[in-house]
Structure 1
Amino acid sequence: MSKDFLVVGGGAIGMLSTLSLAQSGAAVRLLEASSTTGRESSWAGGGIVSPLYPWRYSAAVTALAHWSQDFYPGFGQRLLDETGIDPEVHVTGLYWLDLDDEAEALAWAAPVGRELFAVDIAEAYDQVPVLGAGFKRAIHMPGVANVRNPRLVKALRAALTAMPNVELREHCPVNGFIQENGQIRGVTTAAGEIRADRVVLAAGAWSGELLKTLGLELPVEPVKGQMILYKCAEDFLPSMVLAKGRYAIPRRDGHILIGSTLEYAGFDKTPTDNALESLKASAEELLPALRDAEVVGHWAGLRPGSPEGIPFIGEVPSYPGLWLNCGHFRNGLVLAPASCQLLADLMLGREPIIDPAPYAPAGRLQ
């Protein structure tokens, strides 16, 4: 079996795909279009290690999420040990407030083995004293973590650059694929051809644009998300909280992330004043003390939107040698470890960690 791999896209999915393949001893090249890896949606997201509403997703998303949730704490520690960069896998738990589908959420939890239960609203206020007034009901999942995604991608980059069998090429946008005898044998770039026995497309929201060069329609599109960041005391917010579709995420050093918008605006990722005001209003409703706090950051990223949020993981039947790991929509960071492990299992001929059928590109491309 050939071990010459090329990965297109240097976000969390592309870097973890590279790491998973390289750990087998394979030679892997990773190409990133921008000047540094991990600066698109992997950097821009919130890093909750759970779908926002896990009970609203299919079993396919749940299977990836649960594998990754169990994997993250040890993985974060290994990255810290190997690179000196702490991804800060921070277990805070998560409170959902005044859900319309609370009964469905509670019914979902037991069969899938996740701890999720209703709590008296007074208990929620006891545990999160800065919570805004007027909430009536709460459910709580105590084991949910968040990962500090800008540090995660820095740690992944450091881990990859330390591996002798990995070549990282930044500022190297791909504009097409090399086809020979009905197979994909590499990619074309402004700097020329780069050949490989197998190519992994992990370019996030841009994956569909690249597949169009082969006449394929991948239902992955950019979905803009804007977030804002406050700086508070380290003990200001002890738990993540979510209400009316907006969430607050505490980092260990007191930074508080508020997100997120959901906008279909093509590839425009310009932050807007309207989103800023909307996010500030949500922040102050959730945590009124933030009225007196300064917004220290406001940015936008482009999620790779896909039908039902189910990623594409596997080989493209009509183009042998071309593999996909893309379309994770709002859950790229939580699904990344399982998605990349599954991809490596399939590419290396190992027993897959979960059933790969729901993610296969066959029958899902046009």
Structure 2
Amino acid sequence: MSDVLVVGGGVVGLLSAWSLGQEGLRVTLVERGETGREASWAGGGIVSPLYPWRYGRAVANLAHWSQDFYPSLGLRLLEDTGVDPEVHVTGLYWLDLDDQAEALAWARANGRPLHEVDISAVHDAVPALGAGFSRAVYMPGVANVRNPRLTRSLREALLRLPNVELREACEVRGFIAQAGGIRGVRTDQGELYADAVVLAAGAWSGELLAGLGLELPVAPVKGQMILYRCAADFLSSMVLAKGRYAIPRRDGHILVGSTLEHAGFDKTPSDDALASLRASAEELLPALVGQAPVRHWAGLRPGSPEGIPFIGPVPGHAGLWLNTGHYRNGLVLAPASCRLLLDLMLKREPIIDPQPYAPQGRLVATPLA
């Protein structure tokens, strides 16, 4: 029997399990497929909300804490596992924003280093950028993390902890309720028991909670991405315009994304999305005209109201905790979300006010069939 069962092996589940395991708790992580192969693998890995000024304080507080934490997390995982998550600090240029004045006002109010830059200076700094832009704002210090390597390093870190068990290809079918609380999960490989269960199953979390007669407003939102292979010095900074972005990796790979589609749990890449993404890539970076992407894929984000995740205990079900619903910002918010969860579970002073993320009052009871 474990102290804690974590359901879901994306970056939030992996980091939750690792954080709990670092405290000496006996942890079992259960993942229906392979760890890190859903939204955490599919995303771009920008360590910032795409438009941070368009979110409320709840998302901003998690994002700011995580942004400050990521460099040390990357170094710690590299030292512990030998797998480099590649936290790559490039800065980010936003181009031709409709709400540039609001962005700059937000930066002043929050003490964030976002400032206006003359477009000629942007072209000097990013020679690959297309000529069709007239205005820019820039935030130095914004990083991207190579998310598939981040989840690989977290998986390796878990395997090195003697008090943590990893169960992949193990699908959770429901919860075990005893004495008014949740004491484990039913899986396709049998029952697993624990003192506490953390649900971190991303877009699939709502389906599992429905078995308890609870409606979690988290739904899958499909996103498609493409990948180019370029020279290592081709793109020096991340750039974003018209809702689309280009992200440079250290080895020259360039990610371009992404779409926002409400298509249920369908993850099939589409020709229409490919054409749209290629057009965006070629507008941002004209050198890509005529160059075929080396990869095209889709993933499912856990969409939630206002993008505010659910972090904390589930009312009426003692022992059940949530860490899910991060929408487009799972990688951005994961470190702070998992630290907040840890603080709440261990009854410590939380890093930030936990109230905006509490499941209490945000879940709806529904009749069981």
Q: Which runs of 5+ in 2 are unaligned?
A: 365-369
* Residue number in structure 1 paired with 2:27: 28
Q: Distance in 2 between matches of 1:339 and 1:358?
A: 12
Which of structure 1's runs of 4+ aligned residues deviate more than 6 A?
Answer: none
Quote the Cα distance in structure 1 between the aligned partners of 2:291 and 2:211: 48
Residues in 1 aligned to 2:110 and 2:35: alpha-carbon distance in whole angstroms: 35
Deviates more, 1:346-355 or 1:222-231: 346-355
**Greater mean alpha carbon deviation, residues 325-334 or residues 126-135:** 126-135
The answer to whether 1:209 aligns with 2:199 is no
Aligned to 2:191: 193
1:347 maps to what in 2? 345
Q: Which residue of 2 aligns with 1:119?
A: 117
How many Å apart are 1:133 and its aligned residue?
A: 1.1
Structure 1 residue aligned with 2:362: 364
Deviation of 1:349 (Å) = 1.1
Kindly provide the CA deviation profile for residues 57-94 of structure 1, in whole angstroms up to 9, marking residues without a partner as x.
Answer: 01000000000000000110111111111000000000
Provide the aligned C-alpha RMSD in A: 0.9
- Which amino acid counterpart does residue 11 of structure 1 have in structure 2? G
> AA paired with 1:30?
L
TM-score (norm 2): 0.98
Aligned to 1:99: 97
CA distance in 2, matches of 1:295, 1:190: 38
Greater shift after overlay, 286-295 or 162-171? 286-295
Give the aligned partner of residue 181 of structure 1. 179
Q: Which amino acid is 2:128 matched to? A: V
2:214 counterpart SS class: coil
Show the counterpart of 1:110: 108
Provide the residue aligned with 1:8 in structure 2: 7
Structure 2 CA distance for aligned equivalents of residues 22 and 251 of structure 1: 31
Query: Does the alignment pair 1:18 with 2:24?
Result: no
Q: CA offset at residue 293 of structure 1?
A: 2.6
**Alignment check: 8 A CA contact 2:2 2:28 kept:** no
Question: 48, 58, 61: which is aligned to 1:60?
Answer: 58
- Deviation readout 1:143-164 (Å, 9 max, x if unpaired): 1000000000000000000000
More displaced 10-residue stretch of structure 1: 213-222 or 127-136:
127-136
Task: Give the drift of 1:43.
Answer: 0.3
Q: Deviations over 1:164-198 (max 9, x none)?
A: 00000000110100011110000001111101110
Structure 1 gaps of 5+ residues are none
Cα distance in 2 for partners of 1:70, 1:190 equals: 40
CA distance in 2, matches of 1:208, 1:119: 43
Residues 347 and 3 from structure 1, CA distance in 2 versus in 1: closer, same or farther, beyond 3 angstroms? farther
* Preserved CA contact (<8 Å) 2:2 2:193: no
Partner of residue 142 from structure 2, selected from 144, 159, 172? 144
Distance in 2 between residues matched to 1:60 and 1:340, nearest whole Å: 15
In structure 2, the residue corresponding to 1:295 is in which secondary structure? Answer: coil
Equivalent pair of 2:221/2:260 in contact (CA under 8 Å) = yes
Tell me the matched-pair count.
364
- The question of whether the paired residues in 2 share the 8 Å contact of 1:232 and 1:293 is answered with no
Shift of the alpha carbon at 1:3? 7.3
